[in-house]
Amino acid sequence: MAKLQERRLGRSEMRPRAIGMGGAWWQAHPASETIAAIERAIELGINFFDTYPDECEGRWGEALSGGKREQVYLQAKVSSAVKNERTSDHSAAKTRSSLEASLVNLRTDYLDSVLIHGYDKQTQLEQDGYFDPLGPGNALDELIKMRDEGLIRHIGIGARDAEVINRATATGEIEIVLTYMEYNLLTQAAAAEFFPQCRERDVGLILASPHGMGILTGVEPDDEAVGKRLQIDKPRAHDMWQFCRDRGVNIRHLAIQFCMAAPDIDSIVLPGPASVQQLEEAYEAGTADIPDEIWRDFKAEFGVGV
C-alpha cells in the first residue's frame, strides 16, 4: 500500500503525514465508529489529529490511551462562541479553562498545538464585550504563558478571513494556520489572500474541508446546498462532478490531491472522516494514481489542476 508523504509544518518543525484527521462530523456518528477510525488512522500512519472542545473530545482521549498518544501530533482549539450569538469569549480566563478541560478530556499533559478558533471577522472587535484574542491580556497572551509552562508546544489560528489570518501571523507568535473552504477545486482565494504571508513568515498551513463540506465527495452536487456553502458559480461543482463521472474518475481523489499539491507552501490536508470507511476513503484519495491526462484535461476545462 502506498504511503503518505511526510510534510514539514512550517517553523513549528512538526512533521506529520500529508493527510491528518479532523472531527468536524463526529457528532452524527456513534463513539465506537469514530474511535475505530482513529485506531485505523494510526495503523495507516496518519499522525496528525485535530480536535474540538465539545462532547466528542473524550473520544480522542479514549482512542489514544495505552501509549498511542506519543505516536501522534495532537491539536486542540480554544473557541468559546456562544450559540446564536455573534460574540466569543477569548478572555485569558476562558482560554485557560478551555485548555485545561481539553487536557483532561484528551488524557494528556500537553498538546502539540492549539488554535485560536471562532474568531473570523475583524468587525467583531467593534462589538461590546468582545475579547480580541490577539489583544493584550487575552487568548494569545494566555496561550504564550501556557506554552512557557510546557502545557502546549505551538500556537496557531483557525480562520477563513484573510485580514484576521494576516493580522495573527504578523504577531510572530502564530506558527500554524488552519483554514477551510478557501482553497479547494472550487475556490483558491487563499492562494492570493494569505498564502504569501504564510510563506514569508514560515507558517505551516492546514487545509481543512478539501471536499468543500461534502460537495466534492462524488455524490451528485445539489445546487441549493452548494449555494449555501460556497460563494461560487453553482453549476461549476456539478460540471466537475460530471467530468469525473464521464471518465470513471473519483472527484474525491482529485479534491484531496489538489489540496496536497498546494504550491510552494508547507501544508497538510485535513478531511473529517467519522468512520473507518470514510478514513480509508480519505487515505485512498491521497495515495491513488491519477493519470496525467486527467489532470491535463481537468485543467483545460476548469482552469485548476496540479
pTM of the model: 0.90
User: What whole-number distance in Å separates Cα of residue 166 and Cα of residue 197?
Assistant: 7
Q: Are 183 and 262 in contact (CB under 8 A)?
A: yes
Residue 200 confidence class, pLDDT cut points 50, 70, 90: very high
pLDDT at 82: 45
Could you tell me which residues come within 8 angstroms of residue 53 by beta carbon, excluding any fewer than 6 positions away?
Answer: 76, 77, 78, 79, 98, 101, 102, 105
Pick the CATH number of 21-215+250-290 from 3.90.980.10, 3.20.20.100, 3.10.150.10, 1.10.645.10: 3.20.20.100
Tens of pLDDT along 8-60?
A: 999 999 999 999 999 877 777 888 888 999 999 999 999 999 998 877 888 99
pLDDT at 83: 44
Residue 229 confidence class, pLDDT cut points 50, 70, 90: low
Q: Are 72 and 113 in contact (CB under 8 A)?
A: no
Tens of pLDDT along 100-147?
A: 999 999 999 999 999 998 776 654 554 555 678 888 999 999 999 999
Q: Strand, coil or helix: what is 283?
A: helix
Q: What is the grid cell recorded at 244?
A: 469525473
pLDDT at 266: 83
More confident residue, 90 or 107: 107
Count the neighbouring beta carbons within 10 Å of the beta carbon of residue 32: 10
User: What whole-number distance in Å separates Cα of residue 119 and Cα of residue 178?
Assistant: 12
Give me the residues paired with residue 17 across strands: 6
Over residues 267-290, mean pLDDT: 92
Torsion of CA 84, 22, 244, 193, to 10 degrees: 70
pLDDT at 232: 56
Instruction: Calculate the average pLDDT of the chain.
Output: 88
